[in-house]
Amino acid sequence: MRVLRITRHPLQDLQRTGLKVAAQRLLGRDEDIEVIECAVTISSPEEVLEMVRKHGAEIVEAVLPINMLAPVLEALRKEGVPLIRAVMERKVANGEATFEWRGYEEIKAVKVETVELCRLDQLNA
């Protein structure tokens, strides 16, 4: 089972075990995983699909900005490829933040509701 990770965060040891469990549950197969790491900046859903096809990925784990999540999710759904995210706990000690892996979740939907408050062209008037 091939998992494409689009993130700059390295895969922690226990996280790899969790990723295998998540992949087995999602795909219903008791196999090992092959992890493809891609620490790149994504500018379109098509880029993600190209990487999925290039690597034969069956699952995508991605850290993406909120405005990219919905279109990437939709594109992957059309290909039958689940999108997952790592659940991380943020800890601050001595003014420094660290992140500890806590699990995996499948992203099923993304909904963002906004209300415009200000626009640049309004400020230049």
| Residue 42: CATH number of its domain | 3.40.50
User: Which amino acid, one-letter code, is at 65?
Assistant: P
Total number of domains in the chain: 1
Closest Cα to residue 6, out of 75, 93, 65? Answer: 65
- Sheet architecture: strand order including 2-6: 34-38, 2-6, 59-62, 83-93, 96-106
Q: Which residue has the higher pLDDT, 61 or 119?
A: 61
Tell me, what's the pLDDT at 19? Answer: 97
Q: What value does the mean pLDDT take over residues 40-67?
A: 95
Tell me, what's the pLDDT at 122? Answer: 83
**Mean pLDDT estimate for the chain:** 93
Q: Are 60 and 78 in contact (CB under 8 A)?
A: no
Q: Are 122 and 85 in contact (CB under 8 A)?
A: no
Question: What does residue 79 show for φ and ψ, rounded to 5 degrees?
Answer: -90, -5
pTM beyond 0.85, yes or no: yes
78: containing domain? 2-123
